[in-house]
Structure formats: C-alpha cells, structure tokens
Structure 1
Amino acid sequence: MTGAEDVRGDGVVKDSYPAGSGWVVAARGELDQDTLASLEEALTAAADRHPMVVLDASSVTFGDSSFLNLLLRLHRSTALRIAAPGDQLRRLFALTGADTVLSLHPSVQDALGP
C-alpha cells in the first residue's frame, strides 16, 4: 500500500496515510454490511503492514454490528485505535461493552500518541 489512491473505492474510505509507526485510515458515511468492503480491505491491509492502525471515525455517521465486528476482529490482530468517534458510535460501543475493549481517543493526534 503506497497511499490513499490504493484504498479509495466506493467513497467510504476518505483517506489513508502513514503516521509515525502506524497507519491512519479515515472513514466516512454509513458503515454497514453493504458498504463495509472497502474499509475492511483498507484496515486489513494496514494491519498486515503496520504495528498500529488508527481509524479516524470523525466523519462516520453510522455503524452497525458488522462494522463493530470488523473492529473487534482487527483489534485482535493489531494495535487498533479509534479516533474521534461520534455520538452514534460512542453509543454503539457503550451499549455493547466494546468501549471497554477498543482503544478510543478524542482525536487522531491523541490516538497516535503514546
């Protein structure tokens, strides 16, 4: 993976770039079983190549159980950090208890920190 041009597909992946020892994938829009394929591809490729992957969720408006399952699977294979989740995602994480498992951060910069 050499840059954002490699993972942009249906518009769900907004950007993808190196940051420190990790890789940031910025997602946007509604993430459900019908739209998740390109994000899954981008996150999986990043996890295969980098010790830390940050998902910039600041532009995500909705995530369903398939999105949550993707994050939990990736959490087991890399240091996954979720940056700037909105209200709907925070509710999803809290209701399912995923907020006690996933590494949530207020911003990408905070997620990239120690």
Structure 2
Amino acid sequence: MSQTPRSPALRVHQYARNDSWVVAAEGELDAETLAPLQQALEEAAATRPVVVFDASAVPFADSSTLNLLLRIHRTTTLRIAAAQPQLLRVLEITGADMALALFPSLTDACKAAAS
C-alpha cells in the first residue's frame, strides 16, 4: 500500500519592518499545515496595529487559509504581500481580493503601512 506523500512542514518567520509586523510563511498552506501560521497571525493581530503576511514563498493555499486571512483582517490591518498566482486565484474567485489589501511586493506592503 502506497502512502500519499506529505508536503514539507510549513515554516513561519516573524520580524518588524517599518511600522508593521511581518509574518512570512514558506510552504503549502492547508488544514494540516496551517497551525503555525494561524498562531503567528493571531498573536500578531492581538498586539500589532498592522500585520503584513508575506506570501511570496507560498505556492499553494486552500480555503482554510482564506478563512484565516479573513478572520485576521477583521481584527487588525492586514496586508498581503507578493501572493503567488494560485493564492491570488482563490482570492479572486471568492471575491476576497475586494476585501483584503493586496500588494505586489513586501516592500510595497510595508511602505503602505508606514504611510
């Protein structure tokens, strides 16, 4: 019996940049891997007025990610930086791209947070 290969573990990094707090994820985001990102975003949203989610190293994100981003958006100023095409497509299909602040790069998202 063969097993379905698991995607590599998600890595999450956090740091201050300009007047915002950056939470960067590396890896695929789904219900099984989302916990570290969820914890980091929830903690940042509870203590920071501006949170930037750096999605530049996220090749895949499912509906659990969308749900998390919308929940965080309701609790702080959330900016999404450098989302890859698959995540952008999910946001567009659901209309979430109209509610969330999307930026083409981390630099743009952090500049917007500083102004």
Report the TM-score when normalising by structure 1: 0.87
Match of 1:83 in 2: 81
- Of residues 11, 31, 43 in structure 1, which corresponds to 2:29? 31
Q: Choose the corresponding residue for 2:53, options 42, 52, 55.
A: 55
Distance 1:30 1:18 in 2: 23
RMSD over aligned Cα atoms: 1.3
Q: Which runs of 5+ in 2 are unaligned?
A: 1-7
Q: CA deviation at 1:20?
A: 2.1
Q: Give the Å deviation of 1:48.
A: 1.0
Match of 1:101 among 74, 84, 99: 99
**Counterpart residue type for residue 12 of structure 2:** K
The residue that corresponds to 2:69 in the other structure is 71
Identical residues among aligned pairs (%): 53
Which is bigger in relative contact order (C-alpha 8 A, separation at least 6)? Answer: 2
Asked if structure 1 preserves the Cα contact closer than 8 Å seen for 2:18 and 2:111, the reply is: no
Please point out which of 42, 45, 58 is paired with 1:44. 42
**Partner-residue secondary structure (3-state), 1:62:** coil
Q: Is the contact between residue 13 and residue 25 of structure 1 (CA under 8 Å) also seen in structure 2? A: no
Paired residues, number: 105
Q: CA deviation at 1:22?
A: 1.6
- The 1-side partners of 2:83 and 2:77 are apart by 17
Structure 1 spans left out of the alignment, 5+ residues: 1-9
Rg larger for: 2
Answer whether contact 1:30 1:60 (CA < 8 A) is retained: yes
- Give the match's secondary structure for 1:61: coil
Moved more, 17-26 or 55-64: 17-26
